[in-house]
Copies of this chain bind each other. A is one copy, B any other.
Amino acid sequence: MADNPSYKERKVITIGVVSELTGLSERQIRYYEERKLIFPERSPKGNRKYSFSDVEQLIDIANKREEGVQTYEIRQEMLKAKRKEERRYRKELLRGEINARFGVQKE
């Protein structure tokens, strides 16, 4: 589904660059991690690494915060969206299984 090299998801960007890209302070970025809104990886020596996808997520968070939405609420929204996505995915899986057993044959 995603590109195989998947430039968007590779966690390769350091916090300083993320700060420039998002306009957020490093303090804010680390705090949003503490509040479980963002999940960077760590380099061997402990430096945070973010993906472009994380950068976009942070920009969304920044917009919500400007509207006065609290981090807790943002987290709730994220969890809700995630559950919805999982339901959609399971449904898709199920459809595939049913087709494999009872569906019309291809060719």
Residues of A whose CB lies within 8 Å of any CB of B are 5, 7-8, 10, 12-14, 16-17, 20-21, 43, 49, 52
A12 touches B21 (CB 8 A): yes
Distance in Å from the Cβ of A52 to the closest Cβ of chain B? 5
Q: How far is the CA of A12 from the CA of B52 in the complex (A)?
A: 10
B5 touches A52 (CB 8 A): yes
Extra 13 A-B pairs, beta carbons < 8 Å, given A5-B52, A7-B7, A14-B17: A7-B8, A7-B52, A10-B52, A12-B12, A12-B13, A12-B17, A12-B21, A13-B13, A14-B14, A16-B43, A17-B43, A17-B49, A20-B43
Sample 16 A-B pairs with CB under 8 A, ordered by A number: A5-B52, A7-B7, A7-B8, A7-B52, A10-B52, A12-B12, A12-B13, A12-B17, A12-B21, A13-B13, A14-B14, A14-B17, A16-B43, A17-B43, A17-B49, A20-B43
Which residues of B have CB within 8 Å of A13?
Answer: 12-13
